[in-house]
Structure 1
Amino acid sequence: MDRKVELISFGGIETLRMAEFEPPTPAAGEILIRQDAIGVNFIDIYQRTGLYPLPLPAVLGVEATGIVEAVGEAVHGLRVGDRIAYAGLPGGYATRRVLPGWRAVPLPDDIDAKAAAGGFLRALTAHMLLTRVFAAGPGKTLLVHAAAGGLGSILTRWARRSGCIVIGTAGSPDKAEIARANGADHVIVGRDADLVGETRRLTGGTGVDFAIDGIGGTMLARTLDCVRKFGTVASVGQAAGPIPPIRAEDLGPIRSIALARPSVMAYAAEPETYRAASEAVIGALRDGTIDGRIGREYRLEDAPRAQRDLETGATAGCSILVP
Structure 2
Amino acid sequence: MRAIQVREVGGPDVLQLADVETPEPGPGEVLVDIGAAGVNYIDTYQRSGLYPLPTPFVLGIEGAGTVVAVGEGVSGVAAGDRVAWKDALGSYAEQAVVPASQAVPVTAEVSDELAAALMLQGMTAHYLATSLYPVQPGDWVVVHAGAGGVGLLLTQIVKLRGGRVLATVSTAEKAELATAAGADVIASYEDFSERARDVTDGAGVACVYDGVGQATFEGSLDALRVRGTMALFGAASGPVPPFNPQQLNAKGSLFLTRPTLAHYTRDRAELTARAQDLLGWVGAEKLDVRIGGRYPLVEAGRAHEDLEARRTTGKLLLLP
Q: Deviations over 1:85-115 (max 9, x none)?
A: 1112322111101111121111111111111
Aligned to 1:21: 20
Give the letter aligned to residue 315 of structure 1: T
1:76, distance to aligned residue in structure 2 (A): 1.1
Residue pair 1:154, 1:289 contacting (<8 A) in 2 also: no
Residue pair 2:149, 2:290 contacting (<8 A) in 1 also: no
Identity %: 39
Give the letter aligned to residue 214 of structure 2: G
Residue pair 2:294, 2:318 contacting (<8 A) in 1 also: yes
- After TM superposition, the structure 1 = structure 2 runs for residues 74-113 of structure 1, keeping only pairs within 5 Å, are 74-113=73-112
Tell me, what secondary structure is at the counterpart of 1:310?
Answer: helix
Task: Determine which of 266, 274, 277 is the counterpart of 1:277.
Answer: 274
Give the letter aligned to residue 218 of structure 2: A
Tell me, what secondary structure is at the counterpart of 1:157?
Answer: helix
Gaps spanning 5+ residues in structure 1: where? Answer: none
Give the letter aligned to residue 226 of structure 1: A
Of 133-142 and 155-164, the range deviating more from structure 2: 133-142
Q: Distance in 2 between matches of 1:128 and 1:206?
A: 25
Aligned to 2:212: 215
TM-score by length of 1: 0.94
Aligned to 2:303: 306
Q: Distance in 1 between matches of 2:69 and 2:95?
A: 11
Q: Distance in 2 between matches of 1:15 and 1:243?
A: 28
Residue pair 1:217, 1:240 contacting (<8 A) in 2 also: yes
Alpha carbon RMSD of aligned pairs, Å?
Answer: 1.5
- After TM superposition, the structure 1 = structure 2 runs for residues 43-192 of structure 1, keeping only pairs within 5 Å, are 43-189=42-188, 191=189
Gaps spanning 5+ residues in structure 2: where? Answer: none
Residue pair 1:85, 1:117 contacting (<8 A) in 2 also: yes
Tell me, what secondary structure is at the counterpart of 1:225?
Answer: helix
Of 121-130 and 82-91, the range deviating more from structure 2: 82-91
Q: Distance in 2 between matches of 1:130 and 1:21?
A: 40
Pairing 1:317–2:279 present: no
Q: Distance in 2 between matches of 1:290 and 1:7?
A: 35
Aligned to 2:242: 245
Q: Distance in 2 between matches of 1:105 and 1:52?
A: 26
Residue pair 2:88, 2:97 contacting (<8 A) in 1 also: no
Residue pair 1:306, 1:319 contacting (<8 A) in 2 also: yes
Task: Determine which of 285, 289, 296 is the counterpart of 1:288.
Answer: 285
Q: Distance in 1 between matches of 2:266 and 2:16?
A: 28
Q: Distance in 2 between matches of 1:287 and 1:299?
A: 29
Task: Determine which of 226, 230, 233 is the counterpart of 1:233.
Answer: 230
Q: Name the CA shift for 1:49/1:88 in 2 (closer, same or farther; >3 Å).
A: same
1:120, distance to aligned residue in structure 2 (A): 1.7
Residue pair 1:116, 1:285 contacting (<8 A) in 2 also: no
Tell me, what secondary structure is at the counterpart of 1:167?
Answer: strand
Pairing 1:203–2:200 present: yes
1:269, distance to aligned residue in structure 2 (A): 4.6
Q: Name the CA shift for 1:128/1:11 in 2 (closer, same or farther; >3 Å).
A: same
Aligned to 1:268: 265
- After TM superposition, the structure 1 = structure 2 runs for residues 22-41 of structure 1, keeping only pairs within 5 Å, are 22-41=21-40
